[in-house]
Amino acid sequence: MATRIKGRNRRPIDREVVLDMLAQRTPDYSLEQAFYNDQDLFDIDMEGIFSQQWLFAGLTCEIPKKGNYLTLDIGDNGIIIVRGDDDTVYAHHNTCRHRGSKICLEHRGKVAKLVCPYHQWTYNTDGQLIYAGQEMGIDFDKTKFSLKPVHCRTAGGYIYISLASSAPPPIDDFLVDMAHYLEPYDLENAKVAVESVMIEEANWKLVIENNRECYHCDASHPELLGSLLEWDDTHDPRASEEFKALVAEKQLLWHEDNIPYEHKSAYGNRNRIVRMPLKMGVHSMTMDGKVACKKLLGRIKSPDLGSMRILHLPNSWSHALGDHIIAFQVIPLGPQLTKVVTKWLVHKDAAEGVDYDPVNLRKVWDATNDQDRILGENNQLGVNSQAYTPGPYSKTFEFGVINFVDWYAETLQNHLSI
């Protein structure tokens, strides 16, 4: 698989070239070819987007006890996310301050201290160096060699990190919304019942673009459309009167149970939360529309909560149902290679084989993810052709894609203009 495509008149891709391409792009059209397949531009994406923006990193229920950790790689940057001795969630660069060795080698684990396997330099969970051995001499100042921190925030059970070397972009408003909208689910008392990792041979932006529209759903996602109503706003020009009436009916029920449902957006197109009903009579994203887990999450009493859809650019979206939550994470691996991680959350006390069947829990989205993988990979193959030129988005069916591409272009342009 090629990692760089050279067009017939290709110029070297550097910051000034990218700024010029962004300035000249046609609004409401897809991006120039290089944005989807060029190694230089991928490196600029990793520098300007994934090394600056807040990223969905995991869930607090994955590290429920002191010393529990998980690791994450963003490009060349390894990250440790650990529950500290003070119960705070910390994020550190997974790089020893001695000679740079990776410290945590497993994806998940539990430790009393963070110990580098190379020379046993030892750190507290908050990153402070507490042991470096007598070999460093009596004058060695351990306080100068703590693990390098990564910006880390949590809200509603979700963990976000930023690799920005200085102040990261604002996120407080979104975190307030997340805490409010996820309060009914009590995700501190949830667990990841199932997790899948899919490698898609497509650029990360094509993965996100595909997610941001359901123009393709009728022809591609029969399992998903057994439960999903594609509209996520009653102001959608395609929304029928029947749909609007269903939304009004469900909102009355949600209001009575103190379940948040109003549309929330933060920081332009970067973040959004909206609760929309599923099809009439459907309670969950399963093949038969019935709940996948008998034990509902948190304080939820009725499974008829529709789907609360959470978007966080650049790398995640979620569907929060009454009985379980599906959280998606996108990690770029190369210009034409992307990792998509899907996690299914249920109540921590739900018993496998009694309250839920893992196969049934994941069936709809396993099928949908694989269908989207095929669509994304075919999209990538077509984009790589010399015949590719940017094409127009539908302002009604693909407004979510337009929003994403506008956010991406503005964000990268702002970064490169500094």
The answer to whether residue 49 sits within a structural domain is no
* Whole-number Cα distances in Å, 387 to 1, 381, 390: 19, 11, 10
Same domain, 148 and 226: no
| Residue 274: HSE in the Cβ half-sphere, 13 Å Cα cutoff | 16
Beta carbons within 8 Å of 95's beta carbon, 6+ residues apart: 78, 101, 102, 103, 147, 148
| Number of separate domains in the chain | 2
Same domain, 240 and 134: no
What pLDDT is stored for residue 7 in this prediction? Answer: 43
Same domain, 107 and 180: no
The answer to whether residue 17 sits within a structural domain is no
Question: With 90 as the cut, is the pLDDT of residue 238 above it?
Answer: no
Same domain, 214 and 296: yes
Based on DSSP, count helices (H) and strands (E) in the chain, helices before strands: 9, 17
236 confidence band (pLDDT: 50, 70, 90): confident
Same domain, 137 and 179: no
Question: With 80 as the cut, is the pLDDT of residue 2 above it?
Answer: no
Q: Tell me the average pLDDT of the chain.
A: 95
| Residue of 237 and 71 predicted with greater confidence | 71
CATH of the domain at 80: 2.102.10.10
CATH of the domain at 273: 3.90.380.10
- As a whole number, mean pLDDT of residues 171-188 equals 98
The answer to whether residue 391 sits within a structural domain is no
**What is the bridge-based pairing of β-strands 122-123 and 129-131?**
antiparallel
The answer to whether residue 9 sits within a structural domain is no
What pLDDT is stored for residue 6 in this prediction? Answer: 44
Question: With 70 as the cut, is the pLDDT of residue 107 above it?
Answer: yes
The answer to whether residue 30 sits within a structural domain is no
Same domain, 156 and 192: no
38 confidence band (pLDDT: 50, 70, 90): very high
Same domain, 153 and 293: no
The answer to whether residue 393 sits within a structural domain is no
Q: Which residue range(s) make up the domain with 117?
A: 56-162
For the chain, what percent of residues have pLDDT higher than 90?
A: 93
The answer to whether residue 29 sits within a structural domain is no
- As a whole number, mean pLDDT of residues 215-222 equals 96
Same domain, 97 and 198: no
Q: Which two tokens stand for residue 402?
A: 């337009």
The domain boundary, picked from 98, 130, 162, lies at 162
- pTM here? 0.95
The answer to whether residue 24 sits within a structural domain is no
How many other C-beta atoms can be found within 10 angstroms of the C-beta atom of residue 136?
Answer: 15
What pLDDT is stored for residue 10 in this prediction? Answer: 59
Q: Which two tokens stand for residue 4?
A: 């760089």
What pLDDT is stored for residue 237 in this prediction? Answer: 78
Same domain, 234 and 358: yes
| Residue of 358 and 231 predicted with greater confidence | 358
Question: With 50 as the cut, is the pLDDT of residue 5 above it?
Answer: no
What pLDDT is stored for residue 4 in this prediction? Answer: 42
* Whole-number Cα distances in Å, 354 to 93, 216, 282, 283, 350: 40, 36, 21, 19, 8
Beta carbons within 8 Å of 362's beta carbon, 6+ residues apart: 194, 196, 342, 344
Same domain, 273 and 297: yes
Same domain, 142 and 184: no
Short-list 193, 151, 194, CA closest to 175: 151
Same domain, 193 and 84: no
- As a whole number, mean pLDDT of residues 358-367 equals 98
Environment class of 416 (CB within 10 Å of its CB; exposed 0-12, middle 13-18, buried 19+):
middle
